[in-house]
Structure formats: C-alpha cells, structure tokens
Amino acid sequence: MEIQIAPMTAHPVTAGKQYNARQTSMHAITAQPPKAISMDKKTKKRIDVINTKLQNLRKQLSGAKQQPDDPDEPARLEKEIAALEAESAKLKAS
C-alpha cells in the first residue's frame, strides 16, 4: 500500500517543489537559533553567577548606605558592581 502526500500550497520560493510533512518539520528543527540563545554553557553559567553576585552586592550597598560604619565601603561596592556589570555586558555581547 502506497501513501500519497498532497503537495503543500505554493510558495514563491518553493513553487514547483513538493515537500512532505517530515521534511518541513525537520527544516523547522534545524533553523538557526537567535544569537542570544547560542551562548555556550560556560558563558550562561558565568552570567548567572554574575547576576547572583550583583543581587548580593546591591543589597550590601543598600545596607552600607543606611548604616555607614565604614565610609569607604559604599564606594568599594559600587566599584565591584560596575566591574561585574561591565563583564556581564561584555559576555552578553559576545
């Protein structure tokens, strides 16, 4: 018993070609992912670690501003935050 597959509706690029359902679904699977998703695992993990550190540093900075025990601490924390944000932006851009 032979199975007949009806051709899909004509598309300007694929006019005259016939594709079965399996070929079109495979095409959808092999399509290129967006650039943001194409990061490797190490880069994603590093960005996650940076985001976690940034959350903690921002909490510490808030506490340091409310309770100024060490006058140099807010400046140090702001410097660390700026460095981590720059690293995160660099990783996201690559």
- 46 occurs within a structural domain: yes
Tokens of 84: 């981590």
- 6 occurs within a structural domain: no
For residue 36, give the nearest of 26, 47, 25, 27 by alpha carbon: 47
- 24 occurs within a structural domain: no
- 55 occurs within a structural domain: yes
Determine the pLDDT at residue 87: 96
Type of residue at 90: K
39 by DSSP, 3-state: which? coil
Tokens of 43: 């880069």
When divided into structural domains, the chain yields a total of 1
Q: Which structural domain range is residue 83 located in? A: 35-93
4-26: pLDDT as tens digits: 666 655 555 555 555 555 555 44
Is residue 45 predicted with pLDDT exceeding 70?
A: yes
- 10 occurs within a structural domain: no
12 by DSSP, 3-state: which? coil
Q: N- to C-terminal Cα distance for the chain?
A: 53
Report yes or no on whether pTM surpasses 0.75.
no
